[in-house]
Amino acid sequence: MRWLALIWKSLMRSKRRTLLIVGSLVLSVFTVAVLQSLLTTLNAVTDNPNSSNRLVVRHKSGLTQMLPRAYEAYLRQQPEVETVCALQWFGGYYQDPRNFFANFASDEATLFETFREEFGTAGITEAQMKEYIRDGAGCIVGESLAKKNGWKVGDVVPLTGTIFPINPRLTIRLIFKSPKPSDENVLHFHTKLLEEGVPRMKGLVGSFWVRAHRPEDIPRFLERVDRHYANSAYETLTETENSFNLAFVKMLGNIGAIIQGITAAVVVAILIVTGNTMATAIRERTTEIAVFRAMGFSAGRVLSLLLAEGVLLVGVGGLLGVLLANLAANAVRGTLGAAMPFFADFAIQPATAMACMAGALGIGVLATFIPAYAATRRPITEGLRAVG
Amino acid sequence: MKLTLVLLLPFVAYLGWLIWALVAYPVPLSYNLRSLWQRKLSSLSTAAAIALVVGIFVVVLSLAQGLSQAFVSSGRADQAIVLRPNARFELNSSIERDRMRILKVHPLLKRDENGPMASAEVVVVKLFPMADGSDTNVTVRGLETEGIVMRPQVRLLQGRWFRPGLSEVVVPRKMQGRFQGMELGRSLRMGSRNWEIVGTFDAGGASYESEVWSDANDVMQAFRRESYSSMLARLETPQRLEAFVEAVDGDKRLKLEVVGETAYFKELTKAGDPIKILGNLITLILTGAAIFAAMNTMYAAVAGRTKEIGTLRALGFRQREILASFQWESIFLCVTGGIVGSGLALFANGIQTGTTSFETFSDVSFAFTITPGLMAQGVAFSLVMGLLGGFLPAWRASRIPLTEAMKGG
């Protein structure tokens, strides 16, 4: 305990210096924590345990090409398949084109079964589901989306089509809650509405989302489907939902490399700055350290005291930085989360926070060791003579 | 814009005073520079930290700029794009053949020796394998010969342009390194057909450098499209644009929408906004950290030289001369870092990368381009750090009472 008091005293020797270096550390650790969390949040999209049972069948040429509805029959016949739901990205907007949210034309009958986890089916009653299935011009929306736009069950939502030349007026039949906030930023309506409104969509669907009984069956199934439709007029590309999502994350470009590059640069910068500050702090105390040694403190003890000082300094800076990042993440979730579904899941994961702290403490030890070691190696007599 | 100017004013005024001080007062500048050299390790480490921050700043700036350039340099004021209403982007749009026939002979279009300057085009997105083995969406544009003429920034680099009906494509030079099998003479597989690569082109940084081009009818057949996506139209003068917008808008047979080409690409540029905002935030925060570090170094420098400052004062140097000289010391420290950092950023120059525009749903290739302008911005940025980080310590140095300074150990 008395060591701690001593360390604290040393840190408070120059309050301004300590404050400035802590400020510098807080900002740096904050940046790194936020950037790394951005990366983990992105990666979480492609490693979603909820989707391990699902896979996506789409046209080999890409998402803008359609598949014949007739493929559904073949998919259903496969022994691994539990259920199949056709999904078409509608890309419509409500009132303002900037007001982006995901909206799909989907098979109303199998939707809830296929995306069981996302709909948190427990909260939805059979009657509500039937209500939506019965109303051909009905739609379902996630709770956060409904809240953002002030929608209630029974309201009519006019969507303006961008990809398709129809502007459906949809009645909200159900507002669902999802375990993951990002899954609530979505609207579904009946696929028939699209097929009847757009002649070129007759008998075509964008993609099939297949739910398998067991995840182990998926690899065999993927290969079989693509082989079956190889060299046909509509070749397929079948992949797991996670790898389908991965393609979207990769579309952002090599964000990972950019973030890692910035992180590396920031780490080196903090190392240099902290090292410099600690060196100054220790140089200032040359005489003091010599006095300590003369009083009988061993070189090792003095070294450990100095190291503890560096670690405490960086530890405080790191901790504040991580806390600040956490506050920022909460703010982002509350504000941007409504606009961009990806940000709804943005959080500083405990693992990221721990990694940042560990990194900061490592830097503290590394940055202090060299000047501290040099200081303790200095002959006592020389230190006592030095003008500090 | 006005706000930034108002915020900048004190800086500029102060900097002006500093420069004036350099000339007017016999500022002990060489003394300051020598003392930087005397504390080599401390100066060097601060400069290095600032170099890193400036390096990040310049690279992030070049990323945002490269992305904006890819779109902005694409549009012309006397050209317009005809789309289906509400489609907003070519990929979403569709125009049936009969409507296209009416549109292509519109009286307001400019004419050259081949007739009206208009190109009916089809845009589809196709997955292509990248060099690292993963797939990404790439825009495939089917166009008419006139469409090539109407985009003068596009230049053929190798081979020749595609000919209609032969399943030939030309690919941008920029895509060749990033995607597999894009060399001249190789063939691409699209829509159950092989397409021969007969040429490569360059578009001076425009977004066409992320597209594979072929004949409109060939693409429509291969992708089973019954309608075009859009039409690119050239008008006699940019002033005719408005008349064309009204004429098409008023034509009940067409039910189509006209967007000026410049406005269209400006809308697309917004794809780069998230990266820009994120980049600006990062640099802003890191700048704060760097300023703190610079301040720390300068405070230490001032504290260690109390006696010397006292001597300077005793020699007759005035307070404001001390202020100016210490401020210059800090600026010199930071600008050295800034120059090194801008230099470091050059390592990122020319690296090809890409991102997906969620508006067009396809890949946009662009390169990190570190221009002298960006490097100058980096150095200017470090100057601001030097000003902000050095001001308080320099102020303190100038206020040290003479008696105390002489006493100080």
How confident is the model over B289-327, as pLDDT tens digits? 888 888 888 888 888 788 888 888 888 888 888 888 889
Q: Please compute the mean of the pLDDT values over residues A219-239 and round it to a whole number.
A: 88
Q: Please compute the mean of the pLDDT values over residues A44-61 and round it to a whole number.
A: 81
Backbone angles phi, psi at B192, to 5 degrees: 55, 35
Q: Please compute the mean of the pLDDT values over residues A260-273 and round it to a whole number.
A: 87
- Are B331 and B364 spatial neighbours (Cβ–Cβ below 8 Å)? no
Residue found by looking up tokens 């939902």 in the block: A241
Q: Please compute the mean of the pLDDT values over residues B262-291 and round it to a whole number.
A: 80
Alpha-helical runs (H) found in A100-182? 108-114, 116-119, 126-134, 143-149
Contact B290 A17 (CB under 8 A): no
Contact B282 A262 (CB under 8 A): yes
Contact A160 B292 (CB under 8 A): no
Residue A216 in tokens: 């182990």
CB contact burial B101-139 (16+ within 10 A = b; e otherwise) = eebbebebbbeeeeebbbbbbbbbbbbbebeeeebbbbb
Average pLDDT over chain B, rounded to whole? 85
pLDDT score for A281? 84
B193 Cα to chain A: minimum distance (Å)? 11
- Are B224 and B127 spatial neighbours (Cβ–Cβ below 8 Å)? no
Percent of chain A with pLDDT over 70: 94
A146 Cα to chain B: minimum distance (Å)? 24
Pick the residue from chain B with its C-alpha nearest to A251. B356
pLDDT at A90 over 60: yes
Contact A265 B91 (CB under 8 A): no
The residue among A318 and A14 whose pLDDT is bigger is A318
- Least confident piece of the model among B86-90, B265-269, B374-378: B265-269
B331-372 pLDDT, tens per residue? 999 999 999 999 998 888 877 766 666 566 666 667 778 889
Q: How far apart are CA A317 and CA A350, in angstroms?
A: 17
B194 interfacial to chain A (CB closer than 8 Å): no
pLDDT band at B408 (very low <50, low <70, confident <90, very high): low
pLDDT at B203 over 80: yes
Predicted TM-score (pTM) of the model is 0.77
pLDDT score for B272? 66
pLDDT at A335 over 80: no
Contact B285 A62 (CB under 8 A): no
Pick the residue from chain A with its C-alpha nearest to B89. A162
pLDDT at B27 over 70: no
Alpha-helical runs (H) found in A46-142? 71-77, 108-114, 116-119, 126-134
pLDDT score for A340? 61
Alpha-helical runs (H) found in B134-272? 145-149, 175-178, 216-222, 240-250, 261-269
pLDDT score for B73? 63
Q: Please compute the mean of the pLDDT values over residues B145-170 and round it to a whole number.
A: 92
A174-190 pLDDT, tens per residue? 898 888 777 888 899 99
Average pLDDT over chain A, rounded to whole? 85
Q: Please compute the mean of the pLDDT values over residues B70-80 and round it to a whole number.
A: 77
Which residue of A14, A16, A24, A98 is the best one to mutate when testing the B interface, meaning the one whose CB has the most B CBs within 10 A? A24
Q: How far apart are CA A256 and CA A41, in angstroms?
A: 12
pLDDT score for B340? 94
Percent of chain B with pLDDT over 90: 23
B95-136 pLDDT, tens per residue? 989 999 989 888 889 988 888 999 999 998 888 888 877 777
Q: Please compute the mean of the pLDDT values over residues B365-388 and round it to a whole number.
A: 86
pLDDT score for A265? 87
Pick the residue from chain A with its C-alpha nearest to B128. A61
pLDDT band at A122 (very low <50, low <70, confident <90, very high): low
If we measure between CA atoms, which residue out of B209, B191, B192 comes closest to residue B201?
B209
- Are A209 and A191 spatial neighbours (Cβ–Cβ below 8 Å)? no
A96-115 pLDDT, tens per residue? 877 778 899 999 989 988 88
Q: How far apart are CA A329 and CA A212, in angstroms?
A: 36
Q: How far apart are CA B113 and CA A308, in angstroms?
A: 83
pLDDT at B199 over 90: yes
The residue among A168 and A182 whose pLDDT is bigger is A168
pLDDT score for B156? 93
A262 Cα to chain B: minimum distance (Å)? 7
Q: How far apart are CA A10 and CA A28, in angstroms?
A: 24
Query: How far are the Cα atoms of B28, B184, B292, B299, B392 from residue B35, in angstroms, in the given order?
Result: 11, 61, 21, 14, 18
pLDDT at B238 over 80: yes
Q: How far apart are CA B10 and CA B108, in angstroms?
A: 53
pLDDT at A388 over 50: no
pLDDT at A342 over 80: no
- Cβ-Cβ contacts under 8 Å, B88 against chain A: 97, 162
Contact A250 B136 (CB under 8 A): yes
- Least confident piece of the model among A218-222, A246-250, A288-292, B210-214: A246-250
